[in-house]
Amino acid sequence: MISSILPFFIVALAFLVREENEAFYSLEDFFKVKKIDTHTHHNSENTALTEAAIEANFHLLTVSVDVPDYPSLDEQIRLALLQKSQNPNAIDFLATISLENWTDPGWAEQEIARIEKAFEQGALGIKIWKNIGMTYRYENGDFIMADHPRLEPIFRFIQAKDKTLMAHLGEPRNCWLPLEEMTVNNDRSYFARHPEYHMYLHPEFPGYEEQLAARDRLLAKFPDLRFVGAHLGSLEWSVDELAQRLDRYPNLSVDMAARIGHLQFQSQKDHEKVRDFMIRFQDRLIYGTDLEISGEVDPEKVKINALAVWQKDWKYLVSEEWMDSGDVNGSFQGLKLPQSVVDKIYFHNALKWFKIASTPG
């Protein structure tokens, strides 16, 4: 009998020793700790989201994107610079490129000139979006994928300037499933509103594996390019699959923007697996939300919503409390990550991967 309970006793003792030797944050520490949200969109002159960040001890990165219903690319840069002029130590920005006029002989030079100007204005890098692989096509109808040779001068320029490439390539694996089979509610809601991006409805488009394969070939071609895969690198559905990519590509890190629900869904099934993944890859995970402010807004509503999102994520990452979320059906337990891991996810990794110079506090 004693021999049968001994292994359990040893594991329990090791856990207690670990707990005693590690420091942890509390829910009340939220406002005290320096944090960075590396994935926001400021498509408004209103500074409410930046003000909310200052109050919550956040630094922000606003990301330009070639989205059809967003302001023009030049206007997004203007708005980013306006936000930075209002709160210079609280926000930085990424620029982007357009594939319009892709067939013009001087397209790459034109886009490099756009990027260079943005870098001179203070951009920390650029973001490319899922329209590469899912929207833009050649004249023959084939899709332009992320590893196309014509894009390589862009990536070489970013690398030469020691800037960062953020890439939202592909979509959640749920995108290729019917709505009723999707694993999280925010995906179900998004693709119901955007059937043009719901790939289950478009089987003639490149598949999920094709999207990731093109991204992986890009990573292999440019092993020295600092690369942040937005939205858990579109491998949100499996920490095992994501771990394989992080092991394979040392230049890859991922942000968690709008995909923490997928971690929560997985932690319902195997809490320790998700927690162990977060600790193992603590140097490669970056906090982000995808919070957005657009047009004329109610500043107080913006602040209340941002604070709710930030505090909900903090609770999941720092506590072991049981929680509910609109993104996930059913309760799940917080990960209670060690303080040293939380500091990297929320702060130090952003400094490293984006080379952010100014920070809050």
- Which 8-state DSSP code applies to residue 137? B
Residue 358 has pLDDT above 80, yes or no: no
- Report the DSSP beta bridge partners of residue 126: 95, 165
Contact between 245 and 158 under an 8 Å Cβ cutoff? The reply is no
pLDDT value of residue 18: 53
pLDDT value of residue 122: 98
d(CA 350, CA 326): 27
Contact between 146 and 127 under an 8 Å Cβ cutoff? The reply is no
- The predicted model scores a pTM of 0.93
User: Is residue 4, in this structure, part of any structural domain at all?
Assistant: no
d(CA 60, CA 349): 14
Q: Please report, for the domain that includes residue 265, its CATH number.
A: 3.20.20.140
User: Is residue 360, in this structure, part of any structural domain at all?
Assistant: no
Q: Categorize the per-residue pLDDT at 17 as very low, low, confident or very high, splitting at 50, 70 and 90.
A: very low
User: Is residue 10, in this structure, part of any structural domain at all?
Assistant: no
Q: HSE-up of 251 (CA within 13 Å, CB side)?
A: 20
Contact between 99 and 110 under an 8 Å Cβ cutoff? The reply is no
**Count of beta carbons in the 10 Å neighbourhood of residue 171:** 22
Angstrom distances, CA of residue 354 to CA of 110, 130, 312, 348 = 24, 21, 25, 10
d(CA 52, CA 36): 13
pLDDT value of residue 9: 54
User: Is residue 205, in this structure, part of any structural domain at all?
Assistant: yes
Residue 4 has pLDDT above 60, yes or no: no
- Residue-range definition of the domain harbouring residue 254: 27-354
User: Is residue 60, in this structure, part of any structural domain at all?
Assistant: yes
**Count of beta carbons in the 10 Å neighbourhood of residue 203:** 8
User: Is residue 122, in this structure, part of any structural domain at all?
Assistant: yes
User: Is residue 6, in this structure, part of any structural domain at all?
Assistant: no
Domains held by the chain: number: 1
As a whole number, mean pLDDT of residues 59-82 equals 97
